[in-house]
Amino acid sequence: MRFLARRLGFYLLTAWAAVTLNFLIPRLMPGDPVELLVARMKGNVDPAAIDAMRRAFGISDANLWQQYLDYLGNLAQGELGRSITFFPAEVSTVIAGSLPWTVGLVGVATLISYLMGTSLGVLMAWKRGTWLDGVLPAATFMHAVPYFWVALALVFVFGVTLQWFPVSRAYGLDVMPGFTGEFAGSVVYHAALPAVTIVVASMADRILGMRNVMVTTLGEDYVVMAEAKGLTSRRVMWAYAARNAILPNITSFALSLGFVVGGSVLTEIVFSYPGIGSMLLKGVENEDFPLMQGIFLVISLAVLVANFLADLAYVVLDPRTRQESE
Amino acid sequence: MKIKIGIGILVFFTLMAVLGPLLIGADPAATGDDGLQGPSAAHWLGTTQTGQDILTQIVYGARVSMGVGLLSAVIANVIAVAVGLVGGYFGGAVDEVLSVLTNIFLVLPALPLIIVLAGYLPQRGVASVAVVIAVTGWAWGARVLRAQTLSVRRRDFVQAARASGEGALRIVFFEILPVLLPVIATSFLATVVAAILAEAGLSFLGLADLSTVSWGSMLYFAQNGQALLIGAWWWFIPPGLCIALIGTGLALVNFGIDEIANPRLRTVKVKART
């Protein structure tokens, strides 16, 4: 498993980089965040809040190196400081409350988008020269559409004009959260439009990427050979061509995750979905630097974990990565 | 064909950004007492809640949106060229460090980082927003350029330059760089799309300079002016459409270049499978 070990090493390094970046940003950016906040509130700040904030940043009279060690120590205990917006709540508590919504929404939507986009890409490469080519210009256009604009259009058509779907919140005001069918139904109903937004906006990349690799693969000799042997089209398409074409596709999918997450942040905000994206905006608007930074860190780590999962899929699909270990 | 359509779209928007404001002349921020009017002869694309003409805003917004896109793409590509070429040419420890740095920036989610950085900016002017976007957007170009440099540095003309005693930096930037210009061009176009989208997202969140009219800030005011609930589709459709069209134009040019490099990707004259 040398491949996985190497990847894991890289992710640990990247996680450390994200953590360090998080430490450096407030120190490198112009201005002292604490003083910025105090000035903005015209001095009407609870001294406890200022104190908490200084502690959250690890800003003290100690030298930079000592501050960094203190920061790492706090982080190791899951200590992200206290939120200014929701003072005196811990940042970690605020994040824990909103993270499940985002993971559920973005996770499911990304999976649907990946499966649909990749299958469509395979099909379009296979049926090249037919009416399916008509999808190409549409996909090129969708590839450049901002997520939040898709969200606005869906809200306008299906939310406001047709009134088919709710346009904000994660579940209805009239249902009690709990393990009931009613609550689950309400959650799915409310997640419909945001999920469709993410699927629609992110699918084009998968279609175009998969089609291009697949078209190149279809020219390979082993595909021609498989066809010459008289294997069924379905078998040649999926078991011979698509199986090989999917490898670069997984890599590009993993790299696009950061982009999808960024788009999801904007989507959540349009729908006032109570996920981590809406929280991030709240943090920025309220100059809630500890919250902002905690969220950035959590998003970065989540993307790293997702990347590692993509690597695992790669190992399952590509026997060569497994042979290296022998 | 693709390239022609793509270039056509880009020329249209460039002319709009450069000449449009001169032709229109009006102030995009000027308010009127005929708010929330749909498209009409007086206002081709209707008006906002405060009676601002949407067509005027679109034309002026093109300057800011495309300007920020270009500026940050230039900055991002300068970083990408420096990191990619230096790493690819020198190899060894330098390359290791630069590669890891590139891969880290490739994996970290750009928009959340941009949002956090913008949150710390004391003033969010056009230039500082462009810099923040560039800082998070150079990695893909650097990765592609490094791979290309690796293959170019073994070529005869590079060996010859080295044998004739040219300095390493001179070889990198005067011998290898010109050969990679097509690669830099495609990476540049892709960066422009990403930067325009990032600027739009940032403005939409109200985190860019809201006193200048850009397509993103138009969407911010449309959203906050309840354009959706009022049914003022003419307010939020045009700016998003412009962003998507310009992205389509840039992508078409890029895909066209890909097809020249890889003829199998072309759609024409292929017999359909059954």
pLDDT for the residue numbered A36:
66
**Euclidean distance between CA atoms B238 and A114, whole angstroms:** 29
pLDDT for the residue numbered A62:
67
pLDDT tens digits along A212-260: 888 888 888 898 899 899 898 888 888 888 888 888 888 888 888 888 8
Please compute, for residue A69, the number of CA atoms within 13 A of its CA located in the half-sphere on the CB side: 4
Quote the DSSP letter at residue A62.
S
Supply angle C-alpha A153, A189, A275, rounded to 5. Answer: 75
CB of B224 within 8 Å of a chain A CB? The answer is: no
The pLDDT-based confidence of A130 (bands split at 50, 70, 90) is confident
Contact B104 A300 (CB under 8 A): no
| SS (HEC) of B84-133 | HHHHHHHCHHHHHHHHHHHHHHHHCCHHHHHHHHHHHCCCCCHHHHHHHH
Contact B219 A289 (CB under 8 A): no
Of A146, A155, A269, the CB nearest to B240: A146
**Euclidean distance between CA atoms A211 and A218, whole angstroms:** 10
Would you state the structure tokens that stand for residue B15, as one six-digit string?
A: 């002319």
**Euclidean distance between CA atoms B214 and B236, whole angstroms:** 12
C-alpha distance from B243 to closest chain A C-alpha (Å): 7
**Euclidean distance between CA atoms A268 and B146, whole angstroms:** 36
C-alpha distance from B165 to closest chain A C-alpha (Å): 38
> Locate tokens 């190992």: which residue?
A315
Contact A262 B251 (CB under 8 A): no
pLDDT for the residue numbered A258:
83
Q: Is the pLDDT of residue A308 over 60?
A: yes
CB of B100 within 8 Å of a chain A CB? The answer is: yes
Contact A29 B117 (CB under 8 A): yes
Q: Is the pLDDT of residue A304 over 50?
A: yes
CB of A235 within 8 Å of a chain B CB? The answer is: no
Q: Is the pLDDT of residue A269 over 70?
A: yes
Q: Is the pLDDT of residue B273 over 50?
A: yes
State mean pLDDT over B89-100: 88
More reliable by pLDDT, A285 or A60: A285
State mean pLDDT over A143-166: 88
State mean pLDDT over A111-121: 92
Q: Residue A88: is it exposed, middle or buried by C-beta count within 10 angstroms (0-12/13-18/19+)?
A: exposed
**Euclidean distance between CA atoms A249 and B48, whole angstroms:** 43
Among A residues 269-298, those touching chain B with beta carbons less than 8 Å apart: 269-270, 280-281, 283-285, 287, 289, 292-293, 295-296
**Euclidean distance between CA atoms A223 and A300, whole angstroms:** 40
Cβ-contact B85, B149 below 8 angstroms: yes
C-alpha distance from B170 to closest chain A C-alpha (Å): 32
Contact B247 A133 (CB under 8 A): no
Cβ-contact B94, A245 below 8 angstroms: no
> Locate tokens 């982080």: which residue?
A75
Of B207, B250, B262, the CB nearest to A284: B207
The pLDDT-based confidence of B242 (bands split at 50, 70, 90) is very high
Would you state the structure tokens that stand for residue A188, as one six-digit string?
A: 């799915």
pLDDT tens digits along B11-67: 999 898 888 877 777 777 777 777 667 777 777 777 777 778 888 888 888 888 999
CB of B103 within 8 Å of a chain A CB? The answer is: yes
**Euclidean distance between CA atoms A83 and A66, whole angstroms:** 23
pLDDT tens digits along B105-121: 888 888 888 888 888 88
Would you state the structure tokens that stand for residue B146, as one six-digit string?
A: 């490094």
C-alpha B181 chain-centroid distance: 18
A contacts of B243 (beta carbons < 8 Å) = 144-146, 149
> Locate tokens 């710390």: which residue?
B120
Quote the DSSP letter at residue A88.
T
Of A140, A160, A161, the CB nearest to B248: A140
Q: Following DSSP, what letter does each residue of A153-186 receive, concatenated?
A: HHIIIIIIIS--S--SSSS-TTS--SS-HHHHHH
pLDDT for the residue numbered A326:
44
Residues in contact with B21: Cβ distance below 8 Å, sequence separation at least 6, in sequence order: B59, B60, B63
C-alpha distance from A304 to closest chain B C-alpha (Å): 7
Q: Is the pLDDT of residue A162 over 90?
A: no
Q: How many residues does chain B have?
A: 274
CB of B271 within 8 Å of a chain A CB? The answer is: yes
Contact A258 B108 (CB under 8 A): yes
CB of A24 within 8 Å of a chain B CB? The answer is: no
pLDDT for the residue numbered A55:
66
A contacts of B252 (beta carbons < 8 Å) = 140
Of A143, A153, A160, the CB nearest to B231: A160
C-alpha distance from B215 to closest chain A C-alpha (Å): 11
Would you state the structure tokens that stand for residue A299, as one six-digit string?
A: 């998003």
Supply angle C-alpha A220, A224, A227, rounded to 5. Answer: 145
Backbone φ and ψ of B50, nearest 5°? -100, 15
pTM of the predicted protein model: 0.86
Among A residues 93-132, those touching chain B with beta carbons less than 8 Å apart: 126-130
Residues in contact with B25: Cβ distance below 8 Å, sequence separation at least 6, in sequence order: none
Cβ-contact B53, B237 below 8 angstroms: no
* Average pLDDT over chain A, rounded to an integer: 84
CB of A259 within 8 Å of a chain B CB? The answer is: yes
**Euclidean distance between CA atoms A8 and A313, whole angstroms:** 14
C-alpha distance from B154 to closest chain A C-alpha (Å): 26
State mean pLDDT over A83-88: 77
C-alpha A112 chain-centroid distance: 14
Cβ-contact B214, B61 below 8 angstroms: yes
Report the candidate in A280, A285, A253, A256 with the shortest Cα–Cα distance to residue A267: A280
Cis bond before residue A88 (omega within 30° of 0): yes
Q: Testing the interface with B: which of A10, A23, A152 to mutate, by most B Cβ within 10 A? A: A152
CB of B108 within 8 Å of a chain A CB? The answer is: yes
Cβ-contact B197, A205 below 8 angstroms: no
Q: Testing the interface with A: which of B105, B273, B274 to mutate, by most A Cβ within 10 A? A: B273
